Structure 1
Amino acid sequence: MSDSEVAQSSVMALEALRAKNIMPIIATGRTLCEIEHVLAATGMTSVIAMNGQYVMYDGQAVYTNPIDVEEIRTLHQGAKSQGVEMAFYTEAKIRGTAQNEVMEKHYRYLGEAPPEVDGALYLKEPVYMLLLLLEKGDDYFPDRFPYFQFVRNTPFSNDVVPTGGSKARGIAKLLEVMDFGDVPTYAFGDGMNDLEMFEVVDHAIAMENAVPALKEKAEFITTDNNSDGIEKGLQLCGLL
């Protein structure tokens, strides 16, 4: 299966977890509208979305961290000065500041259509995550915008969330809000935006195709998604 599809072995493994009263949760850099097919295929109702900025448990939002409007405005102006377009992420939609070649490349890379254009979305709705669409020039941004953290997550983009924001923070907030402090936690990951998450969970499982830095932090390394990696990883850590 491709990265955007769910292996049948994963669907069956998640059903087996639920039968054991274990709650599976998706932790992702994407927003809800991008993973609707995954939620439908797996029956999952809990998500740590947009790198920890929006947390939903059993279908209900339990933690949200919208980005300050003035901070978005300032970054937008700085990006424009560098010829860089952006994308704004709410829990339900994605909008770009303009269409260009890098925007198209990025969403093609994800297997998605480029978003509609609405450069003023952040003035009208809460925005939880931003993307900078760029293939180079990353160094311009961190020192000028210290209230954001920038993570190169594809060849065509940086994920942008408030400083301190991460999947790890989303996990911590979920455990705090739901009073799950004594519940053991497990995480699968493959990318740079999974590094902090691996540091806070009890058991970290890296996919075979994970970046080397993530594999170094993993307790277990499983096969990739095309080779039943979720099922095998759950077996490795004793959950199946």
Structure 2
Amino acid sequence: MTYKATAFFDLDGTLLDDKSQVRPEIKEAMTQLKENNILPVIATGRTEVEVAAIMKEANIDSDIIMNGAFIRVAGDIIFSDVYDKELIKEVYDAVKENNDVISFYNEKEIWCNAHNEFLLGAYDFIHTPVPPIDPEGYLTKPVNMLLVLGQDNDTYYTSQFPQLNFYRNTPFSLDTVKKTVSKGNAVKILQEKLQLTDVPSYAFGDGPNDLALFEACDIKIAMGNAVDVLKEKADFITKKNTEGGIIHALKHFELI
């Protein structure tokens, strides 16, 4: 298919409402985008097991997940970046030393080494099930992203692992990916593989992990509820996610 544009949507605080749900008007807008030959892509820190129902409800079948570690377009996998086992072990040991907890992610499943108040708080915050405990699962299963569950050790992890990016996306958790992985790099990979480098791209986001997404896209749209640093980079600040911000922006740019 020949696309006229691409549109990349963060989920929490952007495409979803305050209950992490897809409102009917969002599904209608995504369907209209596709009818207009515009490719809608979810770009999120979550993985597919967490967003499968959301994607179905929103009528979107393309995603950049785990902050850019995995890409699927129209049902086909086009990129997957996997952690080295030795590096996982180093992060795992550091997490345990700090009395924090760690979750492991690939596109099919999530598991963790233990349950604590931060883990329970993190998954409740995004309205998703608590993952099962499997401390040694990373030894036999691929891992694309790690989630560090804790609140007070951000500086320690950043200094201890300069080869990693740590994104605090909830009060309880740090999304953890390699420095070479980001939503922005994933956009570039998608564009190159689908030969869409000359097609206009639109980014919709609200959080600090959307900065790389903004840098990779032509038009940067910050939600009304976005963090200030993202609003400063935006070409357009739309309404809040709970006030029809997505629809407002899509109509503003005449995408629907």
Residue of structure 1 equivalent to 2:9: none
- The answer to whether structure 1 residue 222 and structure 2 residue 224 are counterparts is no
The whole-number CA distance in structure 2 between the counterparts of 1:3 and 1:46 is: 22
Shift of 1:164: 2.5
Matching of residues 76-91 of structure 1 within 5 Å: 76-91=92-107
Task: State how many pairs are aligned.
Answer: 240
- The C-alpha deviation readout for 1:70-125, integer Å capped at 9, x for no partner, is 10011101111111110101101111110111111111111122110111121111
The whole-number CA distance in structure 2 between the counterparts of 1:162 and 1:234 is: 32
Runs of 4+ in structure 1 over 4 Å off: none
Residue of structure 2 equivalent to 1:72: 88
Q: Which amino acid aligns with 1:2?
A: D
Shift of 1:137: 1.5
Over the matched positions of the two proteins, sequence identity in percent amounts to 39
Shift of 1:3: 4.8
- The answer to whether structure 1 residue 182 and structure 2 residue 213 are counterparts is no
2:48 to 32, 37, 44: 32
1:51 to 67, 74, 78: 67
Equivalent pair of 1:206/1:222 in contact (CA under 8 Å): yes
Equivalent pair of 2:19/2:127 in contact (CA under 8 Å): no
Shift of 1:57: 0.4
Larger CA deviation: 144-153 vs 68-77: 144-153
The whole-number CA distance in structure 2 between the counterparts of 1:107 and 1:101 is: 10
Matching of residues 123-162 of structure 1 within 5 Å: 123-162=139-178
Residue of structure 2 equivalent to 1:61: 77
Structure 2 gap segments, 5+ residues each: 1-16
Residue of structure 2 equivalent to 1:6: 22
Relative distance call for 1:206 and 1:198 in structure 2 (3 A) is same
Residue of structure 2 equivalent to 1:232: 248
Report the aligned-residue RMSD. 1.1
The whole-number CA distance in structure 1 between the counterparts of 2:94 and 2:236 is: 41
Shift of 1:201: 0.2
2:186 to 159, 170, 180: 170
The whole-number CA distance in structure 2 between the counterparts of 1:217 and 1:8 is: 29
1:209 to 202, 205, 225: 225
Shift of 1:218: 0.8
TM-score by length of structure 2 reads: 0.91
Q: Which amino acid aligns with 1:55?
A: I
Residue of structure 2 equivalent to 1:112: 128
The whole-number CA distance in structure 2 between the counterparts of 1:3 and 1:171 is: 27
Q: Which amino acid aligns with 1:156?
A: F
Residue of structure 1 equivalent to 2:37: 21
The whole-number CA distance in structure 2 between the counterparts of 1:42 and 1:141 is: 36
Structure 1 gap segments, 5+ residues each: none
Q: Which amino acid aligns with 1:4?
A: S
SS in 2 for 1:116: coil
- Ranked by relative contact order (alpha carbons within 8 Å, sequence separation 6 or more), the top structure is 2
SS in 2 for 1:188: strand
Q: Which amino acid aligns with 2:204?
A: F
Shift of 1:63: 0.7
Larger CA deviation: 205-214 vs 225-234: 225-234
